[in-house]
Amino acid sequence: MYQGRTVFSQVMDFFPRRQFRDCVDLYGGEHRVKSFSCLDQFYSMAFAQLTSRESLRDIEACLRAVGPKLYHAGFKAKVARTTLAKANEQRDWRIYRDTGLQLIEQGRALYAGDSLGMNLKRAVYALDSTVVDLCLSLFPWAQHRRHKSAVKIHTQLDLRGAIPSFLCITGGQIHDVHFLDQVAFEAGAFYVMDKGYTDFGRLYHLHQQQSFFVIRAKKNLVFSRVGSREVDKRQGLRSDQTIRLIGAKTRDLYPERLRRIHYIDPESGRHFFFLTNNFTLAPRTIARLYKFRWQVELFFKWIKQHLHIKAFYGTTPNAVKTQVWIAVSVYTLVAILKKQLDLDASLYEILQVLGLVLFEKTPLKTLFPGNSRSFSEGAIHNQLQLFDL
């Protein structure tokens, strides 16, 4: 029952404090810490995410302005920018990674029953990465080009509920295919990727794990046709072939047969060539699976627009990874909150409202009455319709 608590405190009711404490103990996050705990650090960074603070000074000033309310919101220590900066740089980022993964696991379980939009009961994941540009002079450890730095956020997105099931943060110089080495492939699941992940040795490993992949074929693919199946050209299909790779290296890297599907998008007229190791699904279904991959693109656009990862509060690898993992944790926490409270509002609306009333003493659910859509359906909101979880 609501007891006059702040909105921020009610939101953090969904945060797994016990598991977080286990992570802190595992990595020694509070060794020789006197006052500013790891939970205070998480709360301060979560406040920055939910209210779009621009800097450490901004965080400090805003939290001091609501000083009398901080204790009732869960803060146990005063927040100073130097203390927060030191915590971000020195406390092990894996504390927040492990906590984020636990939140992700909880969120995926809540959304597991959601419809994918097609008659397919298997798990479907989209793999992709996004680049966050950085200043080379401040982030020399993440050099991406000759005159700039960047970090890459490699993501495995569960397309049921659009919850990231696994993330990896690297310097911008790391190629996307190396992410495949860290993915724990699930037997029977589908992994949808762009052609940047073309590495037939790694794809064959995925095949050996009894998983399925759908990936765009490169133009220079060398293959021989083994057989063909009839297709309905009214659906945009042009061919459905069984092939073998005959390139000097690729035939050894992937010795099994592959399926190659030629599809023309009726809306854009673009030609797509897909490779998959699944020979049972209809070719149209394979094409639709690849189209769902764009949800991961929308996920990246969403977090860049609504979570604060464009400007970082620290310049060390530890500070950057800490901030990204807390941003992802906040995203997942709001998704869990939405599902647990059965809110009709979109994630966009929830974040906008929370940013205004974090320290008000209002019952959380009453902030989102009925099926109201009080926010304008602008261009950004229309683009992110897939994330109205």
Query: What does the pLDDT read at residue 168?
Result: 87
Could you tell me how far CA 313 lies from the centroid of its own chain? 20
Query: What does the pLDDT read at residue 275?
Result: 96
Query: What does the pLDDT read at residue 389?
Result: 40
HEC readout, 68-106: HHHHHHCCCCCCCHHHHHHHHHHCCCHHHHHHHHHHHHH
Query: What does the pLDDT read at residue 387?
Result: 39
Query: What does the pLDDT read at residue 224?
Result: 96
Cα-based distances in Å from 203 to 116, 213, 319? 24, 8, 33
Q: Which residues pair with 148 in a beta bridge?
A: 145
* CB-count burial class (<10 Å; 0-12, 13-18, 19+) for 379: exposed
Among 49, 6, 107, CA closest to 310: 49
Distance from C-alpha of 160 to C-alpha of 157, rounded to nearest angstrom: 9
Among 50, 163, 26, 188, CA closest to 99: 26
Q: What are the structural domain ranges in the chain?
A: 7-96+326-387, 195-291
Q: Tell me the pLDDT of the chain (389 aa) as tens digits.
A: 446 789 999 999 999 999 999 999 999 999 888 889 999 999 999 999 888 888 889 999 999 998 888 888 889 888 999 999 999 999 999 999 999 999 999 988 888 777 776 777 788 999 998 887 777 777 787 777 777 888 888 989 888 777 888 888 888 888 899 999 999 999 999 999 999 999 999 999 999 999 999 999 998 999 999 999 999 888 899 999 999 999 999 999 999 999 999 999 888 889 999 999 999 999 999 999 998 887 787 778 766 665 555 567 888 889 988 988 998 899 899 989 999 999 888 887 888 899 889 999 889 888 987 644 444 434 444 444 333 44
Can you read off the two tokens belonging to residue 173? 């110089």
> Do the beta carbons of residue 275 and residue 260 sit within 8 Å?
yes
- Mode of pairing for the β-strands spanning 212-216 and 190-193: parallel
